[in-house]
Chains A and B, each alone.
Chain A
């Protein structure tokens, strides 16, 4: 077997590289990384962590990769996501997974060489650790090498939610290494600091980071010989685990309060939309479906019920994403909720602008659902209607798009305080735009508010 395409985001560890071939994922263990790999493999670590659902399964395969001592094959992750696309609930689940994996590994005499959040991926709502070569043998008394990274990429973003009442996603997307303790510390109030976790991991670490200890040559030697007993490492990991498990976003109460009444399927309109989506999904049989503007996931659920293999839901509103996460997590259904501003989706960025892939470069959807979506971009963000339709139809070969006309109550509210400059925003223009790019399989006006549903298909 010859495997050609190295993943451009896999370059930091010279001991291993990730390759992709025909939808499968391979990890080449280089000669340099072979001893660490064999130690973990012989100890049965990979298997035991995979059985607990903490680590992505792996099997050794024969492959022809230059310089590789071993090659592992992994099950593919349907859609790669990045921490700056996660809601609070997902970020917390990822942090707890990371700590659980570290604690379990430590019990078996292994530790993690880093703590990057990009090594956690989601299969549906379930986080899983994907980097086998971050696991290495624990040396008695060694410090926790990934501590600062854990704080920057897990603890500090979560403190944004719970203490500052802010979403960390914009900051994290601009600063791919996360939010450093020195950056978070000045933002915290005196009251926020009255916590052991905040005081130690944020405030004290930030101060110590800035302190000059390199004045004499002994300093770096002293740092190199710093020790952390194993019990203390267990204590730090379990202390952080307890603290993070109890974290809540500052606005969580209202979110849960609204939840109960928000999920029922009442009304002819919702029923009609649901049936329309189900018909498209049954005919298209998508393996991967995008739900743009997924809200709490009503139509993602309809798509899954009708046989969609995996649904990625995107929304701009974090509160609805957390509700969707909770809803599908209860049923362990293959649904991944991600935060996205459709007028400014995640870009390709990082090293060589290829390390973290942009929204459009990650996976091709087989179908899409865009309900109550078009007007937010066309009217809310001034994107010409034809361009919105063009972008949507470019994302998937088939799907359902909803079009509310200008008399719609929501659009009237959007236009209440501004001039109506949208002369081209009409049902006729919308249909013309769709028809110039795809076939209209079926269209239907909704019973109550008259919104138009269009099922498009651009396959020959």
Chain B
């Protein structure tokens, strides 16, 4: 699932990178801020998706002891 979301998310990213750059120099953080506003949704979707996937896996392994109860971020 993660791969499909990544692939779909790459398309708008590729479109962004095709925009011709202007020569004005901006604050050091500008690119980072816009990027976060754009990719934040994808990151959140992946994070939530992975959490659910983890829960399903844990549920399927009911009998076994889960090594940690943290979200799959670790």
Contacts and interface: CB of A to CB of B under 8 A. Distances in A.
B39 interface: yes
A241 B37 CA distance: 20
A39 interface: no
A320 to B, nearest CB: 31
Contact of B26 (A209, A226, A233): A209
Interface residues of B, number: 41
Contacts of A236: 36, 39-40, 43
Contacts of A181: 31
Interface in B30-50: 30-48, 50
A147 B31 CA distance: 10
Given A148-B28, A207-B16, A208-B30, A231 B36 contact: no
B29 interface: yes
A208 B73 contact: no
Contacts of A208: 16, 30-32, 34-35
A210 B24 CA distance: 7
A246 to B, nearest CB: 14
B36 A207 contact: no
Given A199-B13, A214-B24, A232-B43, A209 B30 contact: yes
Nearest to A240: B43
A25 to B, nearest CB: 30
A433 B60 CA distance: 73
A85 B44 CA distance: 35
A199 B18 CA distance: 12
A238 B47 contact: yes
Contacts of B41: 232
B44 A231 contact: yes
A200 B47 contact: no
B35 to A, nearest CB: 5
Contacts of A211: 19, 21-22, 26, 30-31, 34
Contacts of B42: 235
B68 interface: no
Given A205-B31, A226-B33, A237-B73, A196 B47 contact: no
Nearest to A206: B31
Contacts of A61: none
B53 interface: no
Contacts of A204: 13, 16-17, 31, 35, 38-39
Nearest to B34: A208
Contact of A147 (B26, B36, B46, B48): B36
Given A229-B40, A232-B44, A239-B43, A209 B31 contact: yes
Contacts of A210: 21-23, 25, 31
Nearest to A226: B37
B56 interface: no
Contacts of B30: 208-209, 211, 213, 223
Contacts of B40: 227-229, 232-233, 235-236
Given A209-B31, A223-B33, A226-B34, 14 more contacts: A103-B73, A147-B29, A148-B32, A151-B32, A210-B25, A210-B31, A214-B26, A223-B34, A231-B47, A234-B71, A235-B40, A235-B43, A235-B48, A238-B71
12 contacts: A196-B10, A204-B38, A207-B21, A208-B35, A209-B26, A210-B31, A211-B19, A211-B22, A212-B24, A214-B24, A232-B36, A239-B47
Interface of B: 6, 9-10, 13-14, 16-17, 19, 21-48, 50, 71-74
